[in-house]
Amino acid sequence: MASEFKKKMFWRAVVAEFLAMSLFIFISIGSALGFSFPVVGNKTSTRSQDNVKVSLAFGLSIATMAQSVGHISGAHLNPAVTLGLLLSCQISIFKALMYIIAQCLGAVVATAILSGVTSSLPNNLLGLNALSDGINAGQGLGIEIIATLQLVLCVLATTDRRRNDVSGSAPLAIGLSVALGHLLAIDYTGCGINPARSFGSALIANNFENHWIFWVGPIIGGASAALIYDFILAPRSSDLTDRIKVWTSGQVEEYDLEGDDMNSRVEMKPK
């Protein structure tokens, strides 16, 4: 932990997670709130929410941010993704904790700014995730687990450094996976699949009803994806000693160059 703490690239990565998360939340939730404004020329009616529009906004914003800061932080932008990469022994425990804190802070800051921008909206819940009518807690939890599992599985597969067959864009593939999760889950839970995103809306809207679902579901989904990929689909050869070394000190190749060198390895770019 001490070696990571002293590296400039480490702190740049944490700041990158915060900034990218802030932009991602502002753009994606902003697109979801936009449907509530009155239709021009007919102030008595409002647009119905377009799930495809919202899903694409979330997916494309993730892809854009991943392309923008992936070479700096790996562009996790989701505690469930960070947990998956931690269990997959690609980052240290300290780095995972700092990333999750940065992600949550970014979500809170962006949602607070968005609250001011959309202050004229009646009953504005700022993209709060909630169970739809007829969906109980167990069903909502299942939706969150499955939607997150496919996302983290996509992240692990597209950024696996052992692969040499990934010819497309990893950020785009991950963005499409995020969009896919939203196309599935919006009508059931509003689609969390990202605890930090759910936390920002819940905190600023001061509504934590069933909020545990949007932490427990993605955590189970992300952990399951890491275990399935690492031990069933594409087992890794590293032993327990190697795993513990990564969890405590990070991967050596991440910081094998000087802190000012931008060519250090990061997770988002496939190798």
CATH of the domain spanning 4-38+49-244, picked from 2.160.10.10, 1.20.1080.10, 3.40.50.850, 3.40.50.150 = 1.20.1080.10
More confident residue, 38 or 113: 113
The token pair at 67 is: 């392309």
Is 80 exceeded by the pLDDT of residue 220?
yes
**pLDDT tens digit sequence for 145-169:** 999 999 999 999 999 888 888 778 8
Over residues 35-93, the pLDDT tens digits come to: 665 555 544 445 566 889 999 999 999 999 999 999 999 999 999 999 999 998 889 89
CA distances from 95 to 5, 72, 109, 260, 266 (A): 9, 13, 21, 18, 12
Token pair, residue 43, equals 């102030």
Indicate the pTM of the whole model. Answer: 0.86
Domains in the chain: boundaries: 4-38+49-244
Say how many CA atoms lie within 13 Å of 30 toward its Cβ: 16
Query: Please, are residues 82 and 99 in contact by the beta-carbon 8 Å criterion?
Result: yes
Mean pLDDT, to the nearest integer, of 138-142?
97
State residue 263's pLDDT score.
42
Lowest mean pLDDT among 31-40, 135-144, 233-242: 31-40
